[in-house]
Amino acid sequence: MSQKKITINDVADEAGVSVTTVSLVLSGKGRISAATAERVSQAVRMLGFIPNRSASMLRGGTSGVIGVIVRDISHPFYAEMIAGLSEVLEQQGKVLFLTQSGQRGEHIDRCFDTLVAQGAEGIVLGGGAENASHLVIKARELEMAMICASRASSLDELDAIRPDNFHAAQMATEYLIRRGHHCIAWIGGAGSSLTRAERIGGYCASLLQYGLPFRNEWIIESAPEQRDMATLTERLMHQHPTLTAILCHNATVALGCYFGLQRSGRTPGNGAVDSYYGQQVALVGFGDVPAAEMTDPPLTFVTSSAREIGRSAARKLVQRMADPGGPIQNTIVPPVLIERGSA
């Protein structure tokens, strides 16, 4: 029978410390007490741990591994962003190691430790930034480059590449207003989402600017499933039949609203905005996906290219790896309105 390979996680468990602490001891970096270092060393000797190639190369920063932490790899935004990252980083001879932190970022520490164990040279934080302040400190101790590339970021101490959510919502709301809509609802997103907060800020600012009504019952928080979106949309239209337009938090929400409108006896589109019980309701979403062009009518979106965010993030990470002490930069990718038939 073959003997089980001892990993850095085993050493951490045996020594009663984190994977990050083991890596700091092995690399000779960071401020680790003599007692802790000795405890790790004893665990290494007792278990017969041999650092793998990636972990060994961490000291020289030449593993070629770039870690990525996102909430859900299947999410359209993250999938496009990862494609953009890969385009640029593979040209630099780097390979991506993908991890998922969960919808609420609950596994972000495990993701970070996994990437450290794989000898990642740098990390792109693509989700869960609100839970990552302590990881910034850990990355700095490991002398590991880390940047944020996501839909929103609250980490001022990291380079960030992200869309302009506030401006995107302003653009979408003003587009609807110019087309005659005065009763505009918002559906989707969790109350804890910074992205949602920024977008609703732009939506409310535009309503106030044009002197239009703002009602709390027109702003609906929801889970990400399309079936929930459809049910909420149907209920909203029955309770508030004067609504003529809906802003949708993302592409999944927009598709759910599309089906919910049909179930309520309404259809997506921009007609009959002056009619009290107009049959058409305008839909505008954020983010865009290929399926948006397959609905009838095709869905209108305001989007900042996730692929371009990924490309920009890759270039920024390479720059940060070459110049760890450079000034922190915040790069905003502007939104673009994609007009189709739903609004």
Burial of 197 (C-beta count, 10 Å sphere; 0-12/13-18/19+): middle
User: Average pLDDT of the chain?
Assistant: 86
Give the span between the Cα atoms of 236 and 88, in whole angstroms. Answer: 44
The pTM for the full model equals: 0.76
pLDDT above 80 (res 34): yes
If you count them, how many residues does the chain have? 343
Comma-separated ranges of CATH 3.40.50.2300 domains in the chain? 62-162+308-335, 165-303
pLDDT score at 2: 45
- Rounded to whole angstroms, the Cα distance separating 14 from 44 reads 9
pLDDT at 276: 45
Query: Which pLDDT value is given to residue 84?
Result: 95
- Rounded CA-CA distance 23/58 in Å is 9
Q: What pLDDT, in 10s, does the model give residues 179-236?
A: 999 999 999 988 888 889 999 999 999 999 999 988 999 999 987 677 788 999 999 9
| Count of alpha carbons within 13 angstroms of residue 286, beta-carbon side | 31
Does the domain at 165-303 match CATH 3.40.50.2300? Answer given as: yes
pLDDT over threshold 50, residue 28: yes
Architecture of domain 62-162+308-335: 3-Layer(aba) Sandwich (3.40)
Contact 146, 139 (CB under 8 A): yes
CATH for 1-51, options being 1.10.10.10, 3.20.20.70, 3.30.365.10, 1.10.260.40: 1.10.260.40
Q: CA 256, CA 230: separation in Å to the nearest integer?
A: 5
Q: List, for residues 301-316, the tens digit of each pLDDT value.
A: 999 988 999 999 999 9
Query: Under a CB-based contact definition with an 8 Å cutoff, are residues 302 and 168 in contact?
Result: yes
Q: Could you tell me where in the chain the CATH 1.10.260.40 domains are found? A: 1-51
Structure confidence at residue 9 (pLDDT): 87
pLDDT category of residue 76 using cuts at 50, 70 and 90: confident
Region of residue 114 (phi > 0: left; psi between -120 and 50: alpha; otherwise: beta): alpha
pLDDT at 285 over 90: yes
For the record, the structure tokens of 34 come out as 């003599």
Burial of 128 (0-12, 13-18, 19+ CB in 10 A): buried
Closest-CA residue to 190 (of 227, 147, 225):
225
Task: Report pLDDT digits (tens) over 100-127.
Answer: 998 778 899 999 989 988 888 899 998 7
Of the CA atoms within 13 Å of residue 325, those in its CB half-sphere come to 0
With tokens 């302590």, the residue in question is: 134
State the pLDDT at residue 117: 83
Q: Distance between CA atoms of 99 and 96, rounded to whole angstroms?
A: 10
